[in-house]
């Protein structure tokens, strides 16, 4: 049933391009495998995976068919089938190598390889292993399992792989029209200004067409020629031309003024919309994106879009209007000559489509070399102390010479290619001009079709006006695509749903007591890689819990899910008996304070930083909080006291000072639940002592969860919880755990040893 | 004096005397170290691009073992191992470091910043896609390069001098 549904989705057209590479996850069974299934009397499976390698490490086709009681592998080439009854093994897991991966079944502590696959299948392999796990436990497969499994990395329409599998945008198949229409949605707000711009554009185009006519046909034929309508009226006609120029200039200035205003507004709209959308998203989004690329989106993409909408598109409109206008006027004046004017057009288009990309490629190459050279320079300068300390200046000079030489060669190539491209282009244009002179000249001499010298001059003027707009029209495809790409990126964020969804009917909790209960909690950041497994933990109101364990054991993850930076997949977290998913986010965050190892301070004053979570706090409250956090005295040493701007010159706070501001921030929130994640890890012993004092004040009467590598920091904890590989391994007081001789005792021993070594060094 | 830091690092170099390899029931690599069975092992190359048979890290892989993935030692050279053992190790390495060489480029088309490759490799025909050449092309030596596709799979072009025009057209500006 579910398989059918999925097949329907995928039937739309699958992996036409590069079937071997692109087929992943649950897919339609093809002819070959169906024939083999018939041979072996196999029914429709619950789930399917096609692996793209055979047992000999060569590209091949091996299908994994999952049934309720077993799974089956079939090698299409050899036709070999192997059955694996779920009872016959403990689990199926996937191991990944460099380019490839393998499924292995585990049986009595022994691993048996089952199938190989390349990285293109790798992403779905984990899901498949999970599906087998579910079937093995007699659980029903849900649509969710398939959704994640069908997590396609290639466009279902054309089969091209996505640039970024998380983004799922196919540059070829994206719905350009829809995006474009949506983009235009930013405009109606400014319809008056935009209409005005439209009028200006039409006027500009009109004057553009009129000018060569006046300076050509009218001036030569009507003013300079005897018997002309305005014979001898040189000054008025020149004034007329000046007027045209001035009005064109004025209109342009007006247009740009309006455009500048509208574009600033639109950029503002887009940026605030996207920034707002980003803030709503959960942590998992930020973890999967580079900060740099996010900054780019907020800044560059918005500007690129606006530049396109307000400058390039109008430019395109003006150019098209001018082209149409010019062509019409020319055809009306002299059809034959008009055709001659258009002779170079195909060549120009050809040059732009064929020769220019070649030039661009060479240009790209020298750009590559330039950035390589820059990075060499950057490397050497940024690391100049290291270079000098190791006396390796000559090496750096050699490296520079090599990169510089490459750039030199690339530049020469660019120059040569440029010399081949541009003059040829100019030559074609001027050649067309010569034709116009020749044919037009002859027509004037023979007075053919009423051709006059002035008309010829008009044609020559129009000639330049035809090729310019064509250039811009031909290139419009490129920038339009780029703009739509940007737009797609932005809409993607704007449309994205947060993984952490607020409850539709949240429970308001004015006061929280601080009783936390984790029930059978399982959580993973990435599918199939659980970071926490079946965690059960009951933390009483006012209790201080110390979380201990090796790096990567899952300690911080526990605090992340309690603060609901992420939602758990299985199990539940309750505070005072209410599932945190149902608690109003405002109440939850107002009652949970966090002090982390990373001491982030925002730009602004110390006062503002302390009052970050409670901007309405009074001076007295802020001072009290700072005092309790042992921060007051160092703040008072700063010339501007609480109003010291952070991030400005001469306000370099030490790690310990920054941390104490963070603690003051948490104190001011007066939370019922306090989370200390390595709060004192990055400071020296004396500062730690001060911070510890501050923390002791802070933890009184509050439910506290503290993580620390330095175990001595946790000596005040009521209970210690040892987390190991995502599971709770030990629990008890310091004394109990030390006596038990388990993981905690081992860690304690190692730390004591480490201290001893330090002590020995000190003595020396 | 010169060896001081090496002594401090205390890297264990293994020879055929210290460690014996065998094939596990599942057809994987297992080993006994100093006579003790350590179960399933992984062999990793320290310098995977340029040292295929030297400097290999042997890691314990036995299921459920506390010291899983811990290094048992480094094999500097395979000379002291029996032919059977060498074959076992090489098989394991080939599986882990499977990187096909491109024999022939049938087609390489650039579109929307992606390059779509249709190639013949030492492991059979393959189609793959690379994106952003500056980060997906690694120069191995003067005449050989490695391509990394959008899925993270690698392909080697062993000799650029013999590479097809189609490939060179794409690669040219990046070399």
Q: Which CATH number fits the domain that encloses residue A608?
A: 3.40.50.300
Q: How far apart are CA A149 and CA A127, in angstroms?
A: 6
Does A178 share its domain with A145? Answer: no
Contacts of A740 (CB under 8 A, 6+ apart): A730, A732
Note whether A99 contacts B48, CB cutoff 8 Å. Answer: no
- Burial of B104 per CB tally in 10 Å (0-12, 13-18, 19+): middle
Does A91 share its domain with A218? Answer: no
Q: How far apart are CA A576 and CA A716, in angstroms?
A: 24
Of A111, A160, A163, the CB nearest to B28: A111
Q: How far apart are CA A527 and CA A73, in angstroms?
A: 24
The Cα angle at residue A157 between residues A156 and A163, in degrees rounded to 5: 65
Tokens of A33: 């495998």
Does A62 share its domain with A14? Answer: yes
DSSP string covering A680-723: TTTS-HHHHHHHHHHHHHHHTTSEEEEE-SSGGGGTT-SEEEEE
pLDDT tens, residue by residue, A496-529: 777 777 778 888 888 888 889 998 888 887 665 6
Assess contact for A313 and A320: CB atoms under 8 A. Answer: no
Q: How far apart are CA B69 and CA B58, in angstroms?
A: 9
Which residues, listed in sequence order, are joined to residue B58 by a DSSP beta bridge? Answer: B43, B73
Does position A494 have pLDDT exceeding 50, yes or no? Answer: yes
Check which CATH number belongs to the domain holding A270 and give it: 1.20.1560.10
Residue B113: the pLDDT is: 66
Element (H, E) at B140: strand B137-141
Rounded (to 5) percent helix, strand, coil in chain B? 25, 40, 35
Q: How far apart are CA A713 and CA A715, in angstroms?
A: 6
CA atoms within 13 Å, Cβ hemisphere of A65: 23
Does A96 share its domain with A65? Answer: yes
| Smallest Cα distance from A266 to chain B, Å | 28
- Asked if residue A616 is part of any domain, the answer here is yes
- Burial of A677 per CB tally in 10 Å (0-12, 13-18, 19+): buried
Q: Give the chain A residue whose CA is nearest to the CA of B27.
A: A112
What per-residue string of b and e applies to B115-134 under the rule 16 or more CB within 10 Å gives b?
bbbbbebebeebbbbbbebe
pLDDT tens, residue by residue, A182-241: 888 888 888 898 899 889 988 988 888 888 888 888 888 888 888 888 888 888 888 988
Note whether A21 contacts B26, CB cutoff 8 Å. Answer: no
pLDDT tens, residue by residue, A552-575: 788 888 988 888 888 887 788 998
Chain mean position to CA A404: 33
Does A309 share its domain with A383? Answer: no
Q: Which of A414, A407, A312, A417 is nearest to A354 (CA)?
A: A417
pLDDT tens, residue by residue, A146-193: 655 544 566 666 666 665 555 566 666 667 777 788 888 888 888 898
Which residues, listed in sequence order, are joined to residue A50 by a DSSP beta bridge? Answer: A63
| Smallest Cα distance from A424 to chain B, Å | 24
Q: How far apart are CA B149 and CA A412, in angstroms?
A: 32
How many inter-chain contacts (A to B, CB under 8 Å) are there?
119
Of B40, B151, B154, the CB nearest to A122: B151
A584 DSSP assignment? -
Distances A156 to A22, A113, A683, B20 between C-alpha atoms, Å: 10, 31, 53, 50
Q: How far apart are CA A161 and CA A128, in angstroms?
A: 21
Assess contact for A451 and A444: CB atoms under 8 A. Answer: yes
Q: How far apart are CA A89 and CA A91, in angstroms?
A: 6
Q: Give the chain A residue whose CA is nearest to the CA of B153.
A: A99
Assess contact for A33 and A42: CB atoms under 8 A. Answer: no
Element (H, E) at A145: helix A143-149
Q: How far apart are CA A372 and CA A446, in angstroms?
A: 63
- Asked if residue A632 is part of any domain, the answer here is yes
3-state secondary structure of B29: strand
Assess contact for A577 and A515: CB atoms under 8 A. Answer: yes
Q: Residue for token digits 């606006």?
A: A306
Does A580 share its domain with A693? Answer: yes
Q: What number is the average pLDDT over the span A308-322? A: 83
pLDDT tens, residue by residue, A35-90: 888 899 888 888 888 888 888 888 888 999 988 899 999 999 888 999 999 999 98
Note whether B114 contacts A20, CB cutoff 8 Å. Answer: no
pLDDT tens, residue by residue, B31-43: 999 988 988 899 9
pLDDT tens, residue by residue, B110-119: 776 678 888 9
**In angstroms, how far is the first alpha carbon of chain B from the final one?**
44
Which residues, listed in sequence order, are joined to residue B142 by a DSSP beta bridge? Answer: none
Question: What's the domain range around A6?
Answer: 2-149
Q: How far apart are CA A131 and CA A45, in angstroms?
A: 12
Does A351 share its domain with A422? Answer: yes
Residue A13: the pLDDT is: 33
Assess contact for A702 and A674: CB atoms under 8 A. Answer: yes
Contacts of B54 (CB under 8 A, 6+ apart): B47, B75, B76, B77, B78
Residue B80: the pLDDT is: 92
The Cα angle at residue A573 between residues A567 and A577, in degrees rounded to 5: 140
CA trace torsion A13, A17, A19, A23 (10° rounding) = -60
Element (H, E) at B165: helix B165-171
Note whether B173 contacts A110, CB cutoff 8 Å. Answer: no
Does position B88 have pLDDT exceeding 90, yes or no? Answer: yes
Does A469 share its domain with A400? Answer: no
Element (H, E) at A763: helix A743-763
- Asked if residue A416 is part of any domain, the answer here is yes
| Smallest Cα distance from A530 to chain B, Å | 17
Note whether A113 contacts B27, CB cutoff 8 Å. Answer: yes
Q: What are phi and psi of B3, to 5 degrees?
A: -90, 5
Total domains in chain A come to 4
Assess contact for A269 and A263: CB atoms under 8 A. Answer: no
- Burial of A669 per CB tally in 10 Å (0-12, 13-18, 19+): buried
What residues in A contact B52, CB-CB < 8 Å? none
- Asked if residue A252 is part of any domain, the answer here is yes
Q: Which of A610, A541, A547 is nearest to A577 (CA)?
A: A541
- Asked if residue A720 is part of any domain, the answer here is yes
| Smallest Cα distance from B63 to chain A, Å | 6
Indicate the pLDDT class of residue A321, thresholds 50, 70 and 90.
Answer: confident
Q: Residue for token digits 């990373």?
A: A598
Does A402 share its domain with A527? Answer: no
Least confident interval from A99-103, A272-276, A576-580:
A272-276
Q: What are phi and psi of A50, to 5 degrees?
A: -105, 115
Indicate the pLDDT class of residue A23, thresholds 50, 70 and 90.
Answer: very low
pLDDT tens, residue by residue, B49-71: 888 888 999 998 866 655 667 88
Tokens of A477: 């495809």
3-state secondary structure of A455: helix
Which residues, listed in sequence order, are joined to residue A100 by a DSSP beta bridge? Answer: A118
What residues in B contact A165, CB-CB < 8 Å? 150
Note whether A112 contacts B27, CB cutoff 8 Å. Answer: yes
| The domain boundary residue, chosen from A112, A133, A149 | A149
Note whether B124 contacts A58, CB cutoff 8 Å. Answer: yes
What residues in A contact B100, CB-CB < 8 Å? 59
Check which CATH number belongs to the domain holding A70 and give it: 2.30.29.30
Q: How far apart are CA A114 and CA B65, in angstroms?
A: 22
Q: How far apart are CA A703 and CA A354, in angstroms?
A: 70
- Asked if residue A319 is part of any domain, the answer here is yes
Does A684 share its domain with A537? Answer: yes
Query: How many percent of chain A have pLDDT more than 90?
Result: 6
Does A20 share its domain with A90? Answer: yes
Q: How far apart are CA A251 and CA A269, in angstroms?
A: 27
- Asked if residue A191 is part of any domain, the answer here is yes
Residue B70: the pLDDT is: 81
Indicate the pLDDT class of residue B81, thresholds 50, 70 and 90.
Answer: very high
Does position A246 have pLDDT exceeding 90, yes or no? Answer: yes
Of A59, A113, A119, the CB nearest to B125: A59
Chain mean position to CA A650: 35
Indicate the pLDDT class of residue A243, thresholds 50, 70 and 90.
Answer: very high
Q: How far apart are CA A90 and CA A406, in angstroms?
A: 58
Q: How far apart are CA B56 and CA B50, in angstroms?
A: 12
Residue A285: the pLDDT is: 72
Does A609 share its domain with A744? Answer: yes
Note whether B153 contacts A97, CB cutoff 8 Å. Answer: no
- Asked if residue A161 is part of any domain, the answer here is no
Q: How far apart are CA B41 and CA B23, in angstroms?
A: 10
| Smallest Cα distance from A760 to chain B, Å | 17
Does position A17 have pLDDT exceeding 50, yes or no? Answer: no
Q: How far apart are CA A699 and CA A717, in angstroms?
A: 10
């Amino acid at each position: 049933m579910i398989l059918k549904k999925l097949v329907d989705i995928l039937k739309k057209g699958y992996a036409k391009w590069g079937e071997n590479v692109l087929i992943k996850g649950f897919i339609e069974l093809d002819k070959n495998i169906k024939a083999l299934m018939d041979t072996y009397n196999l029914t429709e499976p619950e789930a399917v995976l096609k692996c793209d390698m055979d047992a000999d490490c060569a590209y091949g086709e091996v299908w994994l068919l999952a049934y309720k009681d077993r799974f089956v592998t079939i090698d299409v080439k050899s036709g070999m089938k192997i059955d694996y009854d779920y009872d016959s093994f403990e689990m199926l897991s996937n191991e990944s190598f460099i380019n490839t991966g393998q499924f292995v079944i585990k049986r009595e502590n022994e691993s048996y390889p089952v199938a190989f696959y390349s990285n293109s299948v790798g992403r779905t392999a984990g899901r498949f292993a999970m599906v087998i796990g579910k079937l093995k436990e007699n659980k029903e497969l849900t649509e969710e399992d398939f959704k994640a499994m069908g997590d396609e990395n290639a466009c279902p329409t054309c089969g091209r792989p996505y640039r970024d599998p998380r983004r799922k945008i196919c540059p070829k198949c994206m719905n350009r029209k829809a995006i474009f229409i949506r983009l235009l949605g930013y405009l109606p707000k400014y319809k008056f200004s935009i209409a005005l711009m439209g009028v200006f554009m039409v006027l500009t185009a009109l004057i553009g067409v009129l000018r060569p006519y006046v300076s050509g046909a009218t001036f030569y034929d009507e003013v300079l020629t005897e018997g002309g309508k305005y014979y001898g009226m040189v000054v008025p006609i020149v004034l007329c031309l000046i007027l045209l120029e001035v009005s064109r200039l004025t209109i342009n200035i007006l247009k740009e003024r309006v455009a500048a205003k509208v574009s600033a507004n639109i950029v503002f709209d887009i940026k605030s919309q996207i920034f707002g959308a980003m803030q709503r998203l959960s942590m998992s989004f930020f973890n999967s994106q580079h900060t740099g690329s996010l900054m780019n989106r907020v800044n560059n993409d918005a500007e690129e879009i606006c530049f396109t909408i307000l400058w390039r598109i109008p430019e395109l409109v003006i150019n098209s209007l001018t082209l149409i206008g010019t062509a019409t006027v020319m055809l009306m004046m002299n059809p034959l000559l008009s055709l001659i004017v258009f002779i170079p057009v195909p060549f120009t288009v050809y040059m732009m489509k064929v020769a220019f990309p070649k030039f661009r490629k060479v240009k790209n190459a020298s750009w590559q070399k330039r950035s390589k050279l820059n990075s060499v320079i950057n490397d050497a300068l940024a690391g100049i102390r290291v270079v000098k300390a190791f006396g390796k200046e000559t090496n750096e000079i050699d490296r520079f010479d090599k990169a510089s030489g490459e750039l030199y060669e690339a530049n020469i190539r660019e120059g040569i290619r440029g010399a081949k491209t541009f003059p040829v282009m100019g030559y074609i244009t001027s050649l067309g001009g010569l034709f116009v002179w020749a044919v037009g000249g002859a027509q004037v001499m023979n007075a053919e079709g009423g051709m006059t010298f002035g008309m010829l001059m008009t044609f020559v003027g129009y000639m330049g006006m035809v090729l310019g707009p064509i250039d811009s029209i031909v290139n419009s495809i490129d920038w339009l695509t780029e703009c739509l790409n940007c737009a797609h990126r932005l809409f993607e964020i704007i449309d994205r749903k947060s993984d952490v969804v607020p409850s539709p009917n949240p429970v308001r909790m004015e006061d929280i007591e601080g009783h936390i209960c984790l029930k059978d909690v399982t959580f993973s950041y990435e599918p199939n890689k659980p970071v926490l497994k079946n965690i059960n933990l009951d933390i009483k109101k006012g209790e201080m819990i110390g979380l201990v364990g090796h790096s990567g054991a899952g300690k911080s993850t526990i605090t992340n899910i309690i603060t609901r930076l992420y939602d758990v997949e299985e199990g539940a977290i309750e505070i005072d008996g209410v599932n945190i998913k149902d608690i109003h986010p405002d109440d939850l965050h107002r009652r949970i304070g966090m002090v982390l190892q990373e001491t982030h301070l925002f730009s602004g004053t110390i006062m503002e930083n302390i009052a970050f979570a409670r901007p309405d706090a009074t001076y007295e409250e802020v001072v009290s909080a700072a005092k309790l956090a042992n921060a007051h005295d160092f703040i008072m040493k700063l010339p501007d006291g609480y109003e010291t701007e952070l991030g400005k010159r001469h306000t370099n706070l030490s790690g310990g000072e920054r941390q104490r501001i963070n603690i003051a921030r948490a104190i001011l929130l007066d939370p019922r639940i306090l989370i200390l994640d390595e709060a004192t890890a990055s400071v020296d012993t004396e500062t730690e002592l001060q911070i510890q004092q501050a923390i002791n004040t802070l933890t009184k009467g509050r439910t506290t969860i503290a993580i620390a590598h330095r175990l001595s920091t946790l000596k005040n904890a009521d209970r210690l919880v040892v987390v190991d590989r995502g599971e709770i391994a030990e629990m008890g007081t310091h004394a109990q755990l030390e006596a038990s001789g388990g993981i905690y005792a081992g860690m304690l021993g190692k730390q004591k040893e480490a201290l001893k070594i330090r002590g020995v060094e000190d003595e020396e | 004096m010169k060896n001081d830091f090496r002594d401090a690092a205390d890297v264990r170099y293994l020879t055929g005397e210290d460690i014996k390899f065998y094939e596990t029931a599942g057809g994987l690599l297992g080993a006994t170290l100093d006579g003790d069975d350590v179960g399933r092992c992984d062999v990793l190359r320290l310098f995977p691009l340029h040292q295929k048979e030297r400097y290999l890290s042997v890691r314990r892989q036995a299921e459920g073992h506390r010291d899983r993935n811990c290094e048992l030692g480094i094999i500097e050279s395979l000379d002291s191992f029996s032919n059977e053992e060498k074959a076992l190790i090489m098989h394991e390495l080939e599986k882990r470091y499977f990187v096909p060489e491109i024999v022939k480029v049938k087609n390489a088309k650039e579109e929307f910043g992606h390059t779509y490759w249709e190639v013949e490799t030492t492991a059979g025909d393959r189609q793959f896609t690379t994106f952003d050449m500056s980060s997906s092309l690694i120069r191995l030596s003067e005449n050989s390069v490695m391509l990394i596709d959008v899925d993270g799979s690698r392909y080697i072009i062993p000799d650029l001098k013999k590479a097809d025009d189609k490939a060179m057209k794409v690669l040219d500006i990046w070399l």
